[in-house]
Amino acid sequence: MIFVKPIVFLSLAAQATLAPVFAFTSKAVRGVSGMKSDVGNVPSWGMPASRSFAANTSLSKYKDTHAEFPSFESKEEYESYLMEASGLPKGFATGSAIGSFVPEEAPLMGALPIKGTIIHLTDGPSENWAAVFTQNKFPGSPIIVGRSRLASGKPIQTLIINNKVSNVCSGGNGVANSETVCEAVAKALNLEFGSESVLPSSTGVIGWRLPAKELAQDVVPRAVEALQSDSAFVAARDIMTTDRYPKLRSKTLSNGARIIGIAKGAGMIEPNMATMLSYILTDATVPKSQLQSMLSEAVNGSFNSISVDGDESTSDTAVIVSSNKVDMEGDEIMKEFRSALNEICSGLAADLVRNGEGTGHVMRVVIHNFPGSGLEARRLGRHVVNSPLFKCAVSGNDPNTGRLAAAVGSFMGKFKGNEDVSKMTVTLGGRTIFCEGKFVLEGDAVEKELSDHMKNAQQNEVSDFPEHQRCVEIGIDFVVGDTSATVYGSDLTNEYIIVNADYRS
């Protein structure tokens, strides 16, 4: 029998802070063939027995994340905030384990760590799941497997995610390696529909072979042993690569249905119909076709509207899975679900930019009255935040408004050359800096005001927690159109270069 294990990852002070929120009794994880939901005498693993984590005991115990996070003074404060809001929806369990491997492509690097994370539907497979994947022409092998699973229309029961190696265009048979890991998961959990009900994801170095044997024989069995049905926090933490901190968002609906999302990604971030890696879990019963439509809509307005470095990953994946535990009857509750899903995806997207490799400032570009489609408006926003000159100016708190206006003009000239821009207004920090074809610059006082706005939005690019949610605010109003969009982007710092100059180690 596999028992739920308490999660140990915080300092004793943080544990003491969180203990009252999770002062329940642990239960066995269900879903393995022949397993019962008996209450087990689970060891506390460093915590008092009365403070062991529990299996979805009471919705009243769960908190939700805010649409905009508060400021944080420390990593412990941030993780405590996420932990309090990390309760899993009914019918889910997660478990992680770490192993090691020696890359065949670079054996002199020696043994390297690799993590495997399992997300499991404890009461059986679900047909109600949806996904979107990268459109990169060189997709990872897990993307090929995932597309096949989605096209088949068959149910899934378990997700397996590994970091360190992305299994993209590697030597050998990458698809077979992914399937080997899926088979190990199906065997360890005795899944009714076998490996076809397992959805794989991989992230990490491109071009390396997936260490399928190490994952299948060592990591997967121990990740199954670690399954617990209390918190999504450990999964959010263990899917990270160069991320500096975990990302998690949650929302409880008025009927008690719960949605929780986790995401990873810090570099190679400019998605196209997907995100880096994001997993959204819900106990709301929503039909597959509606889930797919809602997810695609939410992704377009969130993950497809961000950019850290302009590079689209080969492994981008966004998945939503329902355990079908809470009925969703009526149009109003479905509208509430759609709104909550959009909020979670938008929050995670902004978190990914803030956690971007070397990010010292987050830029938020709000576009109004654009003369074109939503896709074109988002492309304009990404063009602005991807301008190397403007990114560097923002990094240095230099309000070089010429670079901003030039980026807008460059895009419009290349892609919307026949549109009228004579009435366009551009703002920085809420102050108009360009209007009807002319700069509006009024001396040293305005220069200082704009620079102070940038300084106020600055964050520590190596910090292991998000200090605040402030952004460098950029507004672009074309007046003549009717399309709006919001895009988030990152500045360019020395830290970004340092991280990516030594990524593989």
What is the DSSP annotation of 359-403?
Answer: ---EEEEEEEEESS-HHHHHHHHHHHHT-HHHHHHHHTT---HHH
Q: What local confidence, expressed as pLDDT, does residue 308 receive?
A: 59
Instruction: Provide the percentage of residues in the chain whose pLDDT is more than 90.
Output: 72
Q: What local confidence, expressed as pLDDT, does residue 49 receive?
A: 25
Q: What local confidence, expressed as pLDDT, does residue 89 receive?
A: 98
- 89 and 323 Cβ atoms separated by less than 8 Å: yes
Q: Which two tokens stand for residue 196?
A: 């076809």
Kindly report, residue by residue over 441-490, the tens digit of the pLDDT: 888 999 999 999 999 999 999 999 999 999 999 999 999 999 999 999 99
Burial code (b: 16+ CB inside 10 Å, e: under 16) for 247-279 equals bbbbbbbeeebbbbbbbbbbbbbbbbbbbbbbb
Q: Which two tokens stand for residue 170?
A: 């590697």
Residues 277-302 have a mean pLDDT of 95
What residues act catalytically? 275
Return the ∠ at Cα 245 (arms to 242 and 248), rounded to 5°: 120
Instruction: Provide the percentage of residues in the chain whose pLDDT is more than 70.
Output: 84
Torsion of CA 230, 236, 239, 245, to 10 degrees: -140
Find the helix or strand (DSSP H, E) in which 103 lies.
none
Residue 9 has pLDDT above 50, yes or no: no
Residue 36 has pLDDT above 50, yes or no: no
pLDDT band at 504 (very low <50, low <70, confident <90, very high): low
Torsion of CA 246, 340, 361, 364, to 10 degrees: 160
Q: What local confidence, expressed as pLDDT, does residue 497 receive?
A: 84
Q: Which of 374, 333, 363 is nearest to 458 (CA)?
A: 363
Give the strand order in the sheet containing 158-162: 92-101, 112-121, 158-162, 198-202
**Pairing, β 277-284 against β 317-326:** parallel
Residue 136 has pLDDT above 90, yes or no: no
pLDDT band at 266 (very low <50, low <70, confident <90, very high): low
Kindly report, residue by residue over 288-297, the tens digit of the pLDDT: 999 999 999 9
Rounded Cα distance, 381 and 384, in Å: 5
Q: What is the distance, to the nearest Å, from the Cα of residue 137 to the centroid of all Cα atoms in its chain?
A: 22
Kindly report, residue by residue over 400-448, the tens digit of the pLDDT: 999 999 999 999 999 999 999 999 999 999 999 999 999 998 889 999 9
Residue 40 has pLDDT above 50, yes or no: no
Q: What local confidence, expressed as pLDDT, does residue 28 receive?
A: 39
**Pairing, β 472-477 against β 362-370:** parallel
Residue 269 has pLDDT above 70, yes or no: no
Distances (CA, A) of 59 to 87, 89, 350: 9, 9, 27
Rounded Cα distance, 490 and 269, in Å: 10
Residue 275 has pLDDT above 80, yes or no: no
Rounded Cα distance, 191 and 256, in Å: 28
Rounded Cα distance, 492 and 73, in Å: 24
Q: Which two tokens stand for residue 311?
A: 């590079």
Rounded Cα distance, 326 and 261, in Å: 18
Residue 22 has pLDDT above 80, yes or no: no
* Highest mean pLDDT out of 181-185, 307-311, 346-350: 181-185
- 307 and 71 Cβ atoms separated by less than 8 Å: no
Find the helix or strand (DSSP H, E) in which 446 lies.
helix 444-457
The count of other CB atoms within 10 Å of the CB of residue 351 is: 27
Residue 138 has pLDDT above 90, yes or no: no
Q: Which of 57, 58, 2, 52 is nearest to 29 (CA)?
A: 2
Alpha helix stretches (DSSP H) within 399-443: 401-415
Considering just the CA atoms, what is the radius of gyration of the chain in Å?
23
SS (H, E, C) 478-496: CCCCCEEEEEEEECCCHHH
**Pairing, β 483-490 against β 306-307:** parallel
Q: Which of 317, 311, 312 is nearest to 295 (CA)?
A: 317
Residues 331-343 have a mean pLDDT of 97
DSSP three-state, residue 175: helix
Residues 89-94 have a mean pLDDT of 98
DSSP three-state, residue 476: strand
Which are the contacts of 175, defined by CB distance < 8 A and separation ≥ 6? Answer: 141, 144, 145
Q: What local confidence, expressed as pLDDT, does residue 33 receive?
A: 35
Q: What local confidence, expressed as pLDDT, does residue 314 receive?
A: 57
Q: What local confidence, expressed as pLDDT, does residue 88 receive?
A: 98
Q: Which of 269, 264, 225 is nearest to 247 (CA)?
A: 264
Which are the contacts of 241, defined by CB distance < 8 A and separation ≥ 6? Answer: 163, 164, 203, 204, 264, 266
- 391 and 492 Cβ atoms separated by less than 8 Å: yes
pLDDT band at 366 (very low <50, low <70, confident <90, very high): very high
Kindly report, residue by residue over 219-260, the tens digit of the pLDDT: 999 999 999 999 999 999 999 887 899 999 999 999 999 999
Rounded Cα distance, 284 and 300, in Å: 22
Rounded Cα distance, 308 and 124, in Å: 38
Could you tell me the pTM of the whole model?
Answer: 0.84
Rounded Cα distance, 90 and 229, in Å: 8
Find the helix or strand (DSSP H, E) in which 101 lies.
strand 92-101
Q: What local confidence, expressed as pLDDT, does residue 409 receive?
A: 95
Kindly report, residue by residue over 163-202, the tens digit of the pLDDT: 999 998 888 899 999 999 999 999 999 999 999 999 999 9
